[in-house]
Amino acid sequence: MVIDSYVESLLRETLAAMVARNLEWSAEALQALLDQGDQVYAEAVELCFAVNSQVLHDLHNGPPHPVSIASLAESVVAMEAWAALDQPTVQTFMMALAEARDPAIELPAEAARTGFVVGAWLLAISAPENTSWEAVLDSTLHTLAAVPEGHGGQPVLTQESWLL
């Protein structure tokens, strides 16, 4: 997957706002993404979804089971209450990722914001002790950059690529 450095910097800023659980900063970061235009916004959302998918699969050493998704969705809603997400939205989003479907098709209106909140949460919970979420993001982006492009510019996330 080719990762544009400018899009990556916007992704990092938006995720940092979400990790900080700062509603005002989060709104500003999302607005800054929107202000970049449709193409940059779409690339940032696509990269966010790819990061989410990779981290979710890494946490489970492959696609997570639907029961695990339900449990994770409950945790996201409880731990990220500041974002006012509901469990069906988070569960639908995460299930789409687990099944390699585009969350934007499943949740067109909420997908991007949900993706950034869930992504920040996944990065934060998957960071080993004494490791920052940014280190997990760096590792995930490195993995995604090594994955060959698939159809339509989407990375091909196979079980073998999870181990990269």
Helix (H) or strand (E) holding 6: helix 5-19
**C-beta separation of 103 from 111 below 8 A:** yes
What does pTM read for this prediction?
0.87
pLDDT digits (tens, 9 = 90+) for 108-158: 888 899 999 999 999 999 999 999 999 999 999 999 999 887 634 444 444
For residue 150, what pLDDT is reported?
62
- Say how far apart CA 162 and CA 146 lie, in whole Å: 11
Would you kindly state where each structural domain of the chain is located, as residue ranges? 5-162
- Say how far apart CA 72 and CA 75 lie, in whole Å: 5
Q: Give percent above pLDDT 90 in the chain.
A: 82
